[in-house]
Amino acid sequence: MLLNAETGKHPAFWWSIYTLLSLRIPLLSSKVLLVPYSTWHVPRYHEWMQDEEIQQATASEPLSVDEEYAMQQSWRQDADKLTFIICQQISSPEPASAPVLTTESDSPQNMVGDINLFLRVDDGDEGDSPPQIVGEIELMIAEKSNQRRGFGKAALLVFMRYIIEHQSEVLEEFVSRGVDDVESVRKLREAGPLAFECFSVKIGQNNLRSLALFDGLGFDRLSPEPNFFGEFELRRTELGVQRVVGELGVAGVEGYGKAVYTRRE
């Protein structure tokens, strides 16, 4: 095994850390700014999660502040998660120049919600189907005053475009560090280039606005009836980047790009 002479670390370790960091960068658009979930976001996020309606909508239990900080670290570092805070865009983005964000860009008053990707391997109920990688998305616009303003659709489309464009890096990190079953890893790699089978979302049957949002963006319900938990699962299998680019245009979301983040944990 080849090790770095100075650190004693295998090169794959450094590749994994580099990939982990490079996948968690701010994403710009004319409507929203997505920033990696960081420690300075926790107090505002914790306030949101004390709301019983939000707890119900997200199927979450209230956590202490210390537990919330621990969860933030997990969401930031784990290979099976990709988590961003959604902020209002307060300036006109110039994607080509990769603008540097200020502390005001993702300050508490500009935070409106969060969007997450949870990766899993699906091999059927009995475990006898070829393993497939599913990307489950969770989206929350926390306060009622920020709902119905297009933040959710803009964030979802920007997020999907980024994930699709960086599919190989996202999935390589996931399979290398986030899948414990050796046989599943072997089968996934033997099947060819790593690729998503679909994007998935689970939405409570009474959350009509969220159902309408995902219905309108090509997510199909797996069943006409909600499951035992009162949720619909919707999946999108058309993951071409050009379709998402077109949907961004229809939604009036422009200026997609990346930013430079100078703040550090």
**What are 154-198's pLDDT values in tens digits?**
999 999 999 999 999 999 999 998 898 999 999 999 998 999 999
* Per-residue confidence (pLDDT) for residue 53, from 0 to 100: 87
To the question of domain 23-258 being in CATH 3.30.56.10, the answer is: no
Letter string b/e over residues 61-83, b meaning 16 or more CB atoms within 10 A of that residue's CB: eeeeeeebeebbeebbebbebbb
State residue 99's pLDDT score. 76
Which pTM value belongs to this model? 0.88
Domain residue ranges of the chain, discontinuous segments joined by + = 23-258
Question: For the chain, first and last CA: distance in Å?
Answer: 33
* pLDDT for 77: 84
Identify residue 162 by its one-letter amino acid code. Answer: Y
What is the predicted pLDDT for the residue at 103?
87
